[in-house]
Every structure is written in structure tokens, then in C-alpha cells.
Structure 1
Amino acid sequence: MEKQGHVQMDSLFMQAFHYAPVGMAIVDMNIKVLQVNEAGCRLLGYTAEELTARTFFDYSCPDAEEDYSHIMQELRNGGRDSFQTEKRFLHKNGSIIWLYLGISFAKNSEIEPDFYIFQFKDITKHKQGEKKLQKICKEYELLTEHSLDMITKHLPNCEITYVSKACELLLDYEQAELTGKFPYHYIHPDDREMLKKYMASTMDKQAVHTLPYRIRRRDGEYGWFESTAKGILNEAGDVEEILAFTRDITKRKAAERKLKEREEYYKSLFEYHPDIIFSTDLQGNFTSANPNFEKFMGSPKEALMSKKFHFGLLTAPQHLQRIETSFLKAACGDVQRYEFDGIDKNGSLLTLDVLNIPIRVEGKVVGVYGVARNISERKQNENEIRSTKRQLESFIENNVDPVFIYNLEDKLVKINKAVEATYGWQSDELLGLALKDLPIFPKSDIEWVQRNADDLAKVLGNTFKGLEAKRIKKDGTAIHVSVSGFQIVNEKNEQIGRAIIHRDVTEAKMAEEILINSEKLSIAGQLAAGIAHEIRNPMTAIKGFIQLLTSEFTSRKDYFDIISSEIERIELIISELLLLSKPQEMKFHQANIVSVLSEIKLLLETQAILNNVEINFVSVAARIDIYCEVNQIKQVCINFIQNAIEAMPAGGKLTVEISQASEGEVLIRFIDQGCGIAPEMLQKLGEPFYTTKEHGTGLGFMVSKRIIENHGGRVHVRSELEKGTTIEVYLPR
């Protein structure tokens, strides 16, 4: 019986399912449609086969997808009996429809699986009507709440029943503060009786009234407002409430007051203005003239009003046509400005600057204003200024020294031809650049210039002259310049820029350096001659005693040979010192430079070891002959190696390389890992008495350089601080 009852219930459910007027669907635990009734198919436009091929929510709008997993979980657990929602779905024809959706959970037998029952009906029209109603309400709300005018409703006794949000903007009161209040409390005392009569008049069923009056804002200040009120009738035809629209006219009132003040101002301006001011109608008849015009024309106003507009009596005939043409153009609506030469009533020559302005009323030209100013003195000044300017520009442009003109922002605004000729840059490459960005500064100065640009601008902003500096040409050549500068001022003596002048003093600088070096060489020669004379006598004695000792200590003959050789080198060095005072004849012959350097390495290796310096000797061949004076070349190499050892107080590596520079030259490189030489010091190497050593004389490099040059060779020095120095010696073979 129980089974039969279940069968009957299932049969009734299926009949209700298939013939229900609303859409119904049986959905499995994965929301896949198992069955759908005919009403559901009609609502969505799909066949049953199409609907059962996918999940139910696959037919919802993509932008309306929501996560219902927690809802379905609650339905399965009994946390809720059913779930209802409104949701958009896509009809098969592509349209969007609104469905009211109800979901419930059906617990089946242990054999049959559980399922969900979805019931849905079309509520699209209802939603459209609801949306339209919401739109109307929203528009009404926007109209009242966002209106710049304040909207109020009053009872017949004037009590405020509603006030729009504009009260916050206009009066700085909250809506709740005004609702239920009477307006008279906020009205200016002088306007209260007028407002009471005004509100009483609104009881007239047909009348619409407008009234300007003053309302007190929260800050206690009164503003001008204008209200328009109308009585609202009930079904019996009586005034049930009063609707009022109130607008802030404070600015309008202020504008009206200013307009009146402006009228008075312009009247005073017209009467007392130092220029000639007049007005005419479109036929050229004077309609007004200020006292200065009467004075200038030499006629009273009454006489001027009867004449046509022209300066015929006060100007040359050749100007009449131009004056009349300008007037006609102004009468057609175009502002005209022109100058002409004339004579005043006393016969004095003058120049007038005339401005004709159309008089417009409601967009239509009804006359012409005229303003004339005597500019004779200004024209004379302008001519003088133009003449002075031409002279100054000619002076700058034709100046043989480069001239740079900067504005107050330190931007280069003008250069003369001498800049292009001296530095090689064209004006379009330099104009507009800031002082700190100009390419004329040496690389060693650029960082300093950019870092101290403000301080440099202050210095250059004052008058100065004769500052010596080094600058770079476009081709990279360095030149010495003498820099002078001064301020450029306007007619008010206000600084408007600065001028910088460079004078090329390179040749003078070189001549000065040659003279100084010549003097140093002369002093060095005299000093060298004295030193050589003083050292030769004791060296002769030392040499004699060494020769005596050699015969007694034959077991150490190699040591005595080295000592004798070094004494001979000392004598040679003394001879080289004499070179500084007078040239000596040198004896050249072929020598293996590889062997010479090997001997020097052996000689200086002990000194190198004591200073923790490793000497590496590298040669491309075992024998490379050069034509030289051996002892002088030894002196040069020993000098460079000793300098390298002293440049590495903490130790390091010294590499001596011998290679074939070209077919007729040998290259000897001395590469150390010492402290290096600063660029500014590197330029002074070879000058007499200039040294980077604490106890040096400054003669070693100079003598070495001279020896190399006497051999027809040359020497190059490259150095970088904290990385080391490389000396390259080129000698002919």
C-alpha cells in the first residue's frame, strides 16, 4: 500500500510539473537540467533537449553570474526550506528576460538520487514598469535635491514643511534645521513686513508673485534672494500649501551696485582722463567729448558737436584719407588703431596715436569711440633707443672677441660671429642652452660647473674682468681665455640679463709659458753645472780607491765591476746634468735594448723586493737593436723604473714590455699599479722643478724626456688615479 501511495504521489507531481502555468525544472546536484516543463521551454525559447544539455545557470546573463553554491548547500542541509531571487536570463532569440526564480530541495529515496526543483516565471514587464517608476522618482529627486534654487513648501500659515538640499549651499543650514520653522526668523528686519504681505498675496489662487529680499545665513551675513511662490490647490479648490522657488541674487545685486559705481567711475575717467576722448554717431557727428579734447581742438564742446569727425584742420591733407578710412572700418565693427603727424592749435608739430572702437548696443554698432594720445616724446625716445640698439648690436656682432648674452634664467639668447669663428659651434647649436650645459667647458670642469651652477651664476651676474680660464673648441682643442662680464639693464635700471666676453689669450699664454720654462731651464742649467762640478771631485777619489781595492779582493771582482759600472753611470749622469747648461757630443752605436733592460732589472731587483714590488720583463724577441747612447738610455729606464717602484708604497706589479711599434720604431712600456697621477698634474710633467714626489727635484723626468728627444724619440704618459700609470717610450732603430 505504501509503495502504491508513492506511485500515486509521483504521478500527481509529474502532472503538476508538466501542466504548471509557470516554468519548472528538475535539476541534479550539479545544477544540470534533468527535466523541464513546457512552460519553462516557452519562457526561455529553447527545446527540452537543448535545456537538458546544460546547467540551468548557463542560460543566465554573463554579467549576472553569481555564486549560489552556499545557498544550494544550505538547502541540502535543511538550513533553509527554499530560496527566491530575481535574475536575468538570455532568451534564445538574444533578448534579456527577467525571471522570478524559486529553488527547493527534494530528498529522494535511498535508491533514487536527490534533486532540486526550480520554479520560474517571467517578470520582465513588471521590472520594466518598476524601472520606469524608479527613473521618474529619481528624476524628481534629482530635480529637487540638485537644483541650484532652493525649493520650499509651506502651510498657509507659512510654516516650512519641506526644504530642498540647496539650503545647505545657499544658507549653510541643514534641511532638518529649517523644516517646521517659520521663515520670518531668518529675514532681514527691514524686509519682514514686505514678506508677510507677499506670503498673504500667494493665497490668491491665480497669482504668481516674485519678491527680492534679504535672508540671514548661518554665518550671520545677509544675502539677497528672489522668491517666486504659487499657491497649490486641493480638491476643494482651496490653497492647501504654498510652493516657493528661491534663488540667490547676491551677485546680481552686487553687479548692479558695481555697474552704478562703474558708471560713476567711467564718467570721472572720461572727464579727467589726460588723453583726448570723444564719441561720434555713425555719420561722424560728435556725441561727446572730454574737456581735454576741447582744449586740444581749441573749440568748446558745443562747437565740436556741430562738426563732422576728422582732424582736417589739424593734419596734413595726405593723412585725411587714412583717417576717414579707419573711421568707416570702425563704424563697420572693426577696432582701428593708427598714427598720424599733425599740428596742434598752436602750430606745434606732434604725433598722435589714435584708437577707434565700435560702440555696440545689443550687438549692433551705433557709434564710434575715439581715444587719441600725444606720443611725440615717446616716438622721439623710440628713435633714440632704436639708434642706440643698432649701435650696440653692431658693436656686439662685429666685436673680434666672442660675446655671450644670457637672460635671467641663465639661458644663452645671443652670440656674435666671433663665437662661431673661435669655438666652431653655430648659433643654433648653442642658443637656448643653460650656462651649465654649454659644451665649451673642459671635461674636468663640467661636474664642478653643474654642481655649483647657482653660485657661478651669482658671480657671473656681477661686473668682473680678466678672469683666466680654459675652454674647449668644437674640435676638442683647448684654448686659454680671459673672461669679463657685466649686467644688461633696461630703462628702469633693472637687470634683464648679462653679457660675457671671452678674449683668446692662448698665444700669449703659450709665449708666457715658454718664457717661464726658458727661465727655469736657464736656472736648472746653472744649478746643474754647479752640482756637477761639486760631485766630480769626490767621485774621482772614489773611483781611484775602487780600482786599488779591485786588485786586493779578486774573489769579488763581479761586485767591483758593478760598482765601477755604476760610478761610470754616475759620471754620465753628471755629464747629462751639464746638458742642461750646455749641449755635449753623444756617441751613438748599435745596442741590444733587451740586454740593457735585463741588466737594469738585475740592478734594481733588490730595491724592488724590499718594496714588495714584482718586476715582470716581457719582450717579443731576445735581441732588438737600436741606435743609441747606451748609458743615457740606461739612465732613462732606471729613472722610470725607480719612479714606478716609489709609486707603489704598498707593493704591486711593474711590467716592462718591449715590442716593435712599427718598422722603424721600438716601443718600451713601463706599466705600474701605483697611485696614478691627477690630470691637472699630468699636464705639467717635464716642466723644470715640477715633481709629484715629496723629496723630488723635478729634474728626472725633464732630463729623461730630453734624452729621448735627443735620440729622435718621443714619450707618452697615460695615468688614472688609484689604477696606475703607463709610460710609453718610442725610439728609432
Structure 2
Amino acid sequence: MLDKINVENPQLFIHAFENAGIGMAIISLDGKLLKVNQSLCTSFGYTAEEVLHLSMKDLLHPDDLAIDKLIIQELTEGKRKSYQMERRYIHKDNHEIWAIMNVSLVRDENDQPRFYISQIQDISVQLRTVAKLRESEERYHRLVEESPDGVIILKEERCVFINKTGVELLGLSSKKDIIGRTIFDFIHKKDHKAYKKRDFCRESVGPLEKRFIRMDGKIITVELKAIPTTFRDEPAVHVNIRDISASKKAQELMINSEKLTIAGQLAAGIAHEVRNPLTAIKGFFQMMEKDVTENKLYFDVIGSEINRIEVILNELLLLAKPQEAKFEFKNIEVILNHVLTLLESQTNLNNIQIIKNIEPSIPLIKCDENQLKQVFINFLKNSIEAMPRGGMIHIDVLKQSPTSILIRIVDQGSGIPEHLLNRIGEPFFTTKEKGTGLGLMICKNIIEEHKGKIKIESSPSGTRIEIHFPTS
């Protein structure tokens, strides 16, 4: 069959046909397979002898037979010299094959149709790879789009993509509000210089704290991490932004609260120390004033200054008085969950696992929510700092009696020496190098204001804190 084809070098054509890397077939006008090469047999899973007992209809996908009729009609009528398309075939074991088919109609010297020559290149593997890649891209896109962090992709410092969280974080009405704009439109001017120093296109940077400006003008503090990436086959920067304004505010409130407490205690101490001798001075001065008639003006000035000192001392004592707590019935589990969310980054960074065990139906307790948060933050931060190599912190909430609950915090830290345990809670006493010694004292005061009790036990294998609160 092959040697009858009118070509300049029949032997060369035969060699090319039989050894081609893609499937080749000579097909009769009625669709019978007259000659096939080994590549086609391999693609379809048949032997050469089996294939020659088949027609093209046996190999084609049933849904594509109508297309085959159109191809035959256009080739026969001379509308096309050849036809190329992607189409489906059926393997011997009945699975689907995708291939690129190229077919030509061979005519005799009288221009009458003789047979078809077809090339069939199996592209199933490539299509599966493309499908997996597309699926992977879609999965990545969903992950980015639904990420709890804002995601911005930059090309030459201009935004080309932003996810839904980023839109909400920056207060945008839609993604169009930022696409094409420079990132510096949203970074606080005072942070521009520090941002420009970094080469985000070449190295991962962060996490960094930066100030961003929302569309409504509100300034927020974000944690920013930038990673070099590609976007539509061009270099780009993937920027993760997380709003940490609330946690920063909580930290500042905690620091300010501690500072105010220190100031209050110092003020109280100073006021009491000064008031005692001042009372004596004022008493003797008033006695002297009755007996002396000369230089009355001097006595008036001294008396006025003593009164002014008394006013200052009274103001210092007012500063020393704690602010009135707002007691409401609250769910202790909700308060603990808020605290654990706030400290999540610190526990992850220090390789610390929080194991929480809360009994069902724990009754509400009457408390000042912010003050209790301050207590739990202080204790948990102490536990984290005591475990530089990581470990576990157990938090148990138990119903101890019909009228009280127990909150137990147990860590695996280095512990507190036994001879120092009794001093825990004293002002300015601390076992930490950079501690103030006021944190635990504040916690003890808060717990006592809530009519609670605290017990601290410690050993080289860890510290155990038990807090009892009334429920009614």
C-alpha cells in the first residue's frame, strides 16, 4: 500500500510512516484502517493485527461521529485539502483519549479520491497536566481570595490584585478602587522611606509593622509580609497584610494600665510620706502665727504655700484610687477565647501548644471583662516567657461547687524558686530580668476586687495557678 503512494522517494516515506513518533494511519474511503504504524497501536492499546480489523468508527468517540461526516464531506468536495482538530478517541480498555488529528485526502492522477492519510497525536497526558495546573491555580486563587489576611499583589509597586479581605481592611467599595494605584497611596507618609529601603522583588521581607491609611482616612496598624512571586508570567510581589490595630490597642491599654497603677502607688506613697511631716509643720506654724505680730505678710505667704501643698497631695491621693470597675455577668469561656486569640501569634512563635478543657454549662460570673482579660494575659504571658524552648500550657475551667468556679493554668516553664514564692505579688518584686514586679500585684488586686482567691504553686517542672471566682 505504502509503496504505491506517488512520492519522489517511496522508501523514505515508508520509513517515516512506520517510525513516526505520532500515530499514522491510511484509511479507506469507507473508513476501514488499511495500514497503521506502531505509535498508533501503542496509543490505542491494540496490536497492529487487531487494529486492521477495525474501522475509524470503532476508535472515534460516539459523540464525535457527526463531526467526522462533515470532515469527509469537505475533503471530498475539495473545500479543504486537509483538516486538523482536537478530538476524542476510545482506548481499547474504554477510557477516553484526547488527540490532535490531522487528515488529508489522497487523490489519483485523475483527481479521484483514493484513501485518507491521518496523523493522530495523543495529547491526553498534556491535557491532564493542564487540567491539574488549572485546578491548582483555581485552588490557590480560592485560598488567596478567602484568606483571613489581606492579600495584595504588586507589579512595580502598583496593585494588580487584591482579595476580599484586603478590600474590607482598606475600606474600599470594590477592587477597582485600588487596581493600578501605587501602594504608597495607602501607606502612611512617615513609613514611605522605610518601605522603599526594602528590595521586595528579590527577598522575603517581614513581618513588619506599618501604618496604612484606609479610604475613609482612618489610620490602622498592620503586620506586613512581602514575598517575591510571579503574576501572569512577570515578576511581582505577594504582600500579606493583617490588621493588628485591636491587639496593639489592647497592648497599649495594658501598658498604660500598669503605668497608671505604678503612678498611683508612687503617688500614694509620696502623699502619705509628705502629709505626716506637713501636718506637724502646719500645726506649729499656726501656733507661732498667734504669738507673732510682725512680718504678718510672710506668715500669709507661708500659710498659702502650705495649703497649696495640701491640695497637691490630695490630687495625688485621687490618682492613687483605682477606677471603678463595671461588673456584668459574662461567660468565662468567651473571655478566655478572646485572650487566646490575642496571644496566638506569641504561642505559635514560641512553639507553645494551648490545651483547653472547659466543662460544659459553666455558669456566668459577675466581673469586669477587661480586668479579667488583663489578669489572664499577664499569667499566660508569664508562662510563655518561662518556656523559651516551647511546651504545653493547660487551661482548665471547672465548676468547683454550686457557687464557685475554678480556673487552673499549668505550664511547663522553669518555675519560681520555693523561697521566693511568698514574695510573689509584692510591688517591684520580680524574678524576670526586665520585669517591674507590678503585673502580678495588679492581678492579685483585680482578683480580690472580684471576691476571688488565687493560689500559686511552682517547681522546676512548671507553675500551677488556681483562681477561684464566685458565681453568685
Q: Same fold (TM over 0.5)?
A: no
Q: Taking structure 2 as the reference length, what is the TM-score of the superposition?
A: 0.44
TM-score, L = length of structure 1? 0.30
Specify which structure has the bigger relative contact order, considering alpha-carbon pairs within 8 angstroms and separated by 6 or more residues.
Answer: 2
Give 1 or 2 for the bigger CA radius of gyration.
Answer: 1
